[in-house]
Amino acid sequence: MAPTPRQPAEHPDPPVATTTAAATVPEPTAAAAAPVGPVGPVGRGKGRPRSAAADQAILDATREALADLGWGGLTMGDVAQRAGVAKTTLYRRWPSKSELVVDAIASLFDQLECADRGSLQADIEAVVARFAELLTLPETQAALLALFAEGSRDPQLRRRIRERIVEPQKVLVEFGRANAQARGEMDPDRDRAAADEEVGIIFDVIAGTVEHRLLVSGEPVTADWIRRFTTLLLGPFPGLLR
Amino acid sequence: MAPTPRQPAEHPDPPVATTTAAATVPEPTAAAAAPVGPVGPVGRGKGRPRSAAADQAILDATREALADLGWGGLTMGDVAQRAGVAKTTLYRRWPSKSELVVDAIASLFDQLECADRGSLQADIEAVVARFAELLTLPETQAALLALFAEGSRDPQLRRRIRERIVEPQKVLVEFGRANAQARGEMDPDRDRAAADEEVGIIFDVIAGTVEHRLLVSGEPVTADWIRRFTTLLLGPFPGLLR
DNA sequence: TTCTTTCGCTACTGGTCGTAGCGTATCTGC
DNA sequence: GCAGATACGCTACGACCAGTAGCGAAAGAA
* Segment A99-133, tens digit of pLDDT: 999 999 999 998 888 789 999 999 999 999 999 99
Say yes or no: B133 contacts chain A, CB-CB below 8 A: no
DSSP B119-170: SHHHHHHHHHHHHHHHHHSHHHHHHHHHHHHHHTT-HHHHHHHIIIIIHHHH
State the best of A69, A99, A217 to mutate against chain B, taking most chain B CBs within 10 Å.
A217
Q: What pLDDT is stored for residue A110 in this prediction?
A: 85
Phi/psi of residue A33, nearest 5 degrees: -110, 70
Which amino acid, residue B162? R
pTM of the model: 0.83
CB contact under 8 A, B153 and A142: yes
pLDDT band at A19 (very low <50, low <70, confident <90, very high): very low
Q: What pLDDT is stored for residue A69 in this prediction?
A: 95
* Segment B177-232, tens digit of pLDDT: 999 999 999 989 889 999 999 999 999 999 999 999 999 999 999 999 999 999 99
Q: Lowest mean pLDDT: which of A54-68, A80-94, B83-97, B105-119?
A: B105-119
List the one residue out of B143, B204, B203 whose CA is nearest residue B172.
B203
Residues in B closer than 8 angstroms to A233, CB to CB, are 232, 237
- Decide if pLDDT at B167 tops 90: yes
* Segment B101-124, tens digit of pLDDT: 999 999 899 888 878 899 999 999
Which amino acid, residue A16? V
User: Average pLDDT of chain A?
Assistant: 82
pLDDT band at B1 (very low <50, low <70, confident <90, very high): very low
SS3 B65: helix
Q: Lowest mean pLDDT: which of A31-40, A141-150, A174-183, B17-26?
A: B17-26
| Percent of chain A residues topping a pLDDT of 90 | 71
Name the strand (E) or helix (H) holding B94: none
Q: For residue B92, which nucleotide's C1' is closest to its Cα?
A: D7
Q: Round to whole Å and give the CA distance between A147 and A232.
A: 30
In A47-66, the residues whose Cβ lies within 8 Å of chain B are none
State the best of A216, A228, A229, A240 to mutate against chain B, taking most chain B CBs within 10 Å.
A216
- Decide if pLDDT at A9 tops 60: no
Phi/psi of residue A81, nearest 5 degrees: -65, -45
Any strand D atom closer than 7 Å to A82 CB = no
For the range A136-141, what are the long-range contacts, defined as Cβ-Cβ under 8 Å and sequence gap of 24 or more?
Answer: A136/A214, A136/A220, A136/A221, A137/A67, A137/A108, A138/A66, A138/A67, A139/A63, A139/A64, A139/A66, A139/A67, A139/A104, A139/A105, A139/A108, A140/A105, A140/A108, A141/A214, A141/A215, A141/B152
* Segment A137-150, tens digit of pLDDT: 999 998 999 999 99
